[in-house]
Amino acid sequence: MEPAVRIDGKQVAAEVIATVKKHTAGLVGETEITPGLAVVIVGEDPASQVYVASKSKMAKECGFHSVQHTLDAGTKQADLLSLIETLNNDPAIHGILVQLPLPDHIDEGRVIQAIAPDKDVDGFHFINVGKLGTGEISSAFVPCTPAGSMVLIERVRGRDLSGLTAVVIGRSNIVGKPMANLLLAANCTVTIAHSRTRDLPALARTADILVAAVGRPQMVRGDWVKPGATVIDVGINRIPAPERGEGKTRLVGDVDYDGAAEVAGTITPVPGGVGPMTIAMLMANTLVSACRIANRQPPVF
């Protein structure tokens, strides 16, 4: 068998960003509405700061109005909610993103539900979750990681997945459940599996499309993969890499890439697969929000 074709998430993400830039320039030129993204970070978590910096940088590159609010770790919940209310009412802001995790004294759920659903570009508000769950995808915001994963699947398999079987390993609200809903909307037959699933390898082998989103390094082995399947690896895990020197680490996904690539038809690498798509879809969602405000047809990604 031929080894799997590697799905280049960096390239597809670059294509999404190019579309965002083009439509943003058109929107600004014709309506004078500039897509606005506000990113809120609470505390000094280094990983969160890296993410937020890259989001703000990409927003500027796309020609957006980009605002960043950095609050100290001791910020009261009431003050954070007050800031979100201000952003909800700011006509220059079309997307609001609160970087998770938040400090322990702040109720994440309450903060997420305080964001106006039409500015909820992360797609976590119950209204957007409900729209996705009932198939109202054209008016919903879909969480960025599953949305990006779906774009990669469509590039390989087309937009209509009728007759194909998908298995999603992981049932999180951020990836697993919305991923399953997107696949259902594309006419896939979908099973959600998780840590309590009996004989997970046998179930995984039934999948034409296998999505791994569990957060366990290299859990999905090559012999879990159906020959010719499309494998989407959402996991990002750091593991020790003594071969690179003492104390060194490397990034791996939830899939044993080398083993799976011998069997799969197409597969996403880690890094360079789903990761770049997440930030690209955040930009896409922000542009879509601005297009809706301007009563313009948003682009399809």
Q: What is the pLDDT of residues 241-277, one digit of tens each?
A: 988 988 899 999 999 999 999 999 999 999 999 999 9
Domain final position from 78, 109, 130: 130
Residue 1 binned pLDDT confidence (cut-offs 50, 70, 90): confident
Helix, strand, coil abundance in the chain, percent, nearest 5:
45, 15, 40
Q: How far is residue 61 from each of residues 54, 55, 99, 271, 287, measured CA to CA in Å?
A: 10, 10, 20, 22, 13
Residue 200: inside a domain: yes
- Are 260 and 267 spatial neighbours (Cβ–Cβ below 8 Å)? yes
Domain co-membership, 147 together with 271:
yes
- Per residue in 213-249, pLDDT (tens digit) is 999 999 999 999 999 999 999 999 999 998 898 889 9
Is the pLDDT at 180 greater than 90? The verdict is yes
Residue 236: inside a domain: yes
Residue 16: inside a domain: no
- Catalytic pick among 122, 208, 233, 256: 122
Domain co-membership, 83 together with 159:
no
Residue 74: inside a domain: yes
Q: Residue 37 is part of a domain; what is its CATH number?
A: 3.40.50.10860
Residue 85: inside a domain: yes
User: Looking at residues 15-44, what average pLDDT do you find?
Assistant: 97
Question: Residue 228: enclosing H or E segment and its boundaries?
Answer: none
Domain co-membership, 190 together with 86:
no
Locate all alpha helices (DSSP H) within the chain, ordered by sequence. Answer: 9-31, 46-61, 77-88, 108-114, 126-133, 144-157, 176-185, 200-204, 257-261, 274-293
Q: Which residues pair with 36 in a beta bridge?
A: 65
- Per residue in 98-116, pLDDT (tens digit) is 999 999 999 999 999 999 9
Domain co-membership, 196 together with 240:
yes
- Catalytic pick among 55, 119, 131, 226: 55
- Catalytic pick among 99, 131, 226, 233: 99
Domain co-membership, 156 together with 199:
yes
Tell which residue, 160, 162, 164, 117, has the closest CA to residue 142: 117
Is the pLDDT at 118 greater than 80? The verdict is yes
Return the pLDDT at 285: 98
Domain co-membership, 207 together with 243:
yes
Domain co-membership, 90 together with 154:
no
Residue 290: inside a domain: no
Return the pLDDT at 112: 98
Domain of 71 in residue numbering reads as 31-130
For the chain, the domain total comes to: 2
**Lookup: tokens for 181:** 């809903």
Domain final position from 99, 130, 161: 130
Return the pLDDT at 177: 98
Residue 55 appears among annotated catalytic residues: yes
Domain co-membership, 153 together with 266:
yes
Residue 135: inside a domain: no
Query: Tokens 């390989």 appear where?
Result: 156
Is the pLDDT at 189 greater than 90? The verdict is yes
Q: Give 165's Cβ-side CA count (13 Å radius).
A: 12
Return the pLDDT at 57: 94
Domain co-membership, 96 together with 169:
no
Residue 161 binned pLDDT confidence (cut-offs 50, 70, 90): very high
- Are 100 and 108 spatial neighbours (Cβ–Cβ below 8 Å)? yes
Distance CA 119, CA 93 (A): 8
User: Looking at residues 75-93, what average pLDDT do you find?
Assistant: 98
Domain co-membership, 55 together with 167:
no
Query: Tokens 């995984």 appear where?
Result: 204
Residue 46: inside a domain: yes
Domain co-membership, 121 together with 147:
no
pLDDT mean across residues, the chain: 96
Is the pLDDT at 40 greater than 80? The verdict is yes
Q: Residue 180 is part of a domain; what is its CATH number?
A: 3.40.50.720
**37-41, 49-53, 93-97: least confident range:** 49-53
271 CB neighbour count, 10 Å cutoff: 15
- CA-based max dimension of the chain: 59
Look up the pTM and report it. Answer: 0.95
User: Looking at residues 135-149, what average pLDDT do you find?
Assistant: 96
Domain final position from 98, 130, 162: 130
Domain co-membership, 150 together with 122:
no
Return the pLDDT at 46: 87
